[in-house]
Structure 1
């Protein structure tokens, strides 16, 4: 047996230099590191105090989030957007970053279900109260304002009832009263309604939906006009750990490259499907902003400039039995509580997004057991039309 000592093993831990190259990657590199090394304490001070750009810890920001934020910034016409871990984390960071105990919010009464829950159940536990008002009626919004009101929260096109907010009136109201106007622009996207350039103080997106477009990431985005508000939202996002993952940001960036093509194809399909629903005897009502029979069609025409979007809602004649028959007869159309996928999805708000509301609360919004929201995708329109006609036929038997 040899007594020669073993040769020292080479150290592989954090010593391998990433190869340099005169050429560059065409795609954005995925950087999953949660920590970044700085050369010395002075350099770390420079980063934290804004004298130098750099990264420190993944919860405080990372390159993939910044790349995605800059892409959405360009769509909105602003700069300094913040990517968060989900659409609701964007809402949370905004509400908790800009409000304190004793403050009051006026929210649209036709918001995403979890936003409604936050305003009416969660924020009151922290001393922040809310009043819901009809965003299609600026007078109702004005009447809900109190001396403690700090913020207005609306969706330009409501989820899932597709009503059109009086955005011009609400913007003027916010400016007149010195209130922060927050617009959730998820349904419309900047292509449908450029909320930021139209005067919103804060714009929120659930990037999960149309922007990323493939149902494989969960992300949000916030853009604030005022630098102090932007910092408050950022600090809240970091403190609460609402950070997005680099992987999701990288995947969303890839989805964004086809956003304009997906938007146009899905929007064209939605217009065709709205007519298919209107022509079918099983359908009681069709809700689509591009139709002249939509209750807010004239306002939609002025606000959206012909960009009606990819969302269509309709009410079946009947209730839960007919709703079950419809979804069972269309297994090829995903029955799922989401929107914005490249494929068409079908949602039943009474059993998903708005199930937390009472039956009377849903009825007040027109959400019956026969109410469906369709997020129209990019499939061939004949295929979609045939699928839905067959599914609607099944509700009549």
Structure 2
């Protein structure tokens, strides 16, 4: 380009280089330029690879989706703005007005709200059942039932779904079987291997792992469904930002190490909590006293996740005392950070439910969920021992 043809407001092409960056570059561009209209046609119609508008896709989302899809053993996954955006894309893409959904009753609180409060306004109906009981799920089916949704390990009670039995039922009845694999991750469980049609993740959690992104992921085994999901994400604006995708891909580089250490810590912490006065019960899928221990052993094959839930013998004052005494552990309605976090479902994830609805799920005022991090286990034991003692003292 001649000097007289340049302008400070015109974009410059990247410098030519025979080398490539080791670290994935961040691509914040909203638009991508084509040589001419025919070249743009080639991109849109699949004859050439490329991008046009970031809402329709960008390199950082593609790189992250490809890595998670490889972990899940599928092709064509899509990154969304959040885990709830991934679930919303499933409903918007795959259901028609009048369709019925059967879902596990042990789901993330916002998902329960979406199913029972928001989707009915759009013409969808939902029934909630125990996902560990295939006969109960079958009894809830109707002629208009089209989709079955479960979490492998439920939030926050850590109950398991009978994935094998439900996959068989879904095949027999022609249902779209959707599995939320957030808690387990593909390193613990791969739903497609056992018959899932669609898998979703809140990438925000353990996959990204540093509490600095909000992202989701959705993939279907069937190419036509993947296309429908992509169209829903693009049309409804459920897409993810390049920066969050860039951070999440970086987080995935240490995922295996974080997963293994956090899981080891969770097992040790569950054993420790079980022996503390003031703890009424401990829920950890790897223990013999877990209500779904047989399912956990069959499905998870020893990878029981980094989550531990337990119930304090405490009211709200005791819970507050517990949280304050555990002040070095973050009290936050999240999971999957490198550091341990504690949450109180009654005041966070499941606050939209009534006390009676929470009680039916086994979530009392004293129910605590722990997302176990990678700290030294002795430090975690000391801090939670002191916190439980503070809760007991508040009751006395």
Query: In the alignment, which of 161, 166, 173 is matched to residue 170 of structure 1?
Result: 166
* Corresponding position of 1:199: 195
Q: CA deviation at 1:243?
A: 1.1
Q: CA deviation at 1:195?
A: 1.0
- Equivalent position SS for 1:107: strand
- 1:377 counterpart = 2:373: yes
* CA-atom RMSD in angstroms: 1.2
Greater Rg by CA: 1
1:293-372 map, 5 Å: 293-372=289-368
- Equivalent position SS for 1:25: coil
* Corresponding position of 1:220: 216
* Corresponding position of 1:4: none
TM-score, scaled to structure 1: 0.97
* Corresponding position of 1:39: 35
Query: In the alignment, which of 117, 134, 147 is matched to residue 143 of structure 2?
Result: 147
* Corresponding position of 1:260: 256
Q: CA deviation at 1:192?
A: 1.2
Contact 2:152 2:180 in 1 (8 A): yes
TM-score, scaled to structure 2: 0.97
- Equivalent position SS for 2:191: coil
- Equivalent position SS for 2:225: helix
* Corresponding position of 1:289: 285
- Equivalent position SS for 1:196: helix
- 1:120 counterpart = 2:79: no
- Equivalent position SS for 1:395: helix
Per-residue deviation, residues 273-320 of structure 1 (Å, max 9, x unmatched): 101110001100000001111111111011100001100000001221
- 1:182 counterpart = 2:168: no
Q: Aligned partners of 2:11, 2:355: CA distance in 1, in Å?
A: 62
Contact 2:314 2:392 in 1 (8 A): no
Q: Aligned partners of 1:167, 1:270: CA distance in 2, in Å?
A: 23
Aligned length: 391
Q: CA deviation at 1:15?
A: 4.3
Q: Aligned partners of 2:42, 2:20: CA distance in 1, in Å?
A: 28
- Equivalent position SS for 2:289: coil
1:72-87 map, 5 Å: 72-87=68-83
Q: CA deviation at 1:49?
A: 1.4
Moved more, 386-395 or 10-19: 10-19
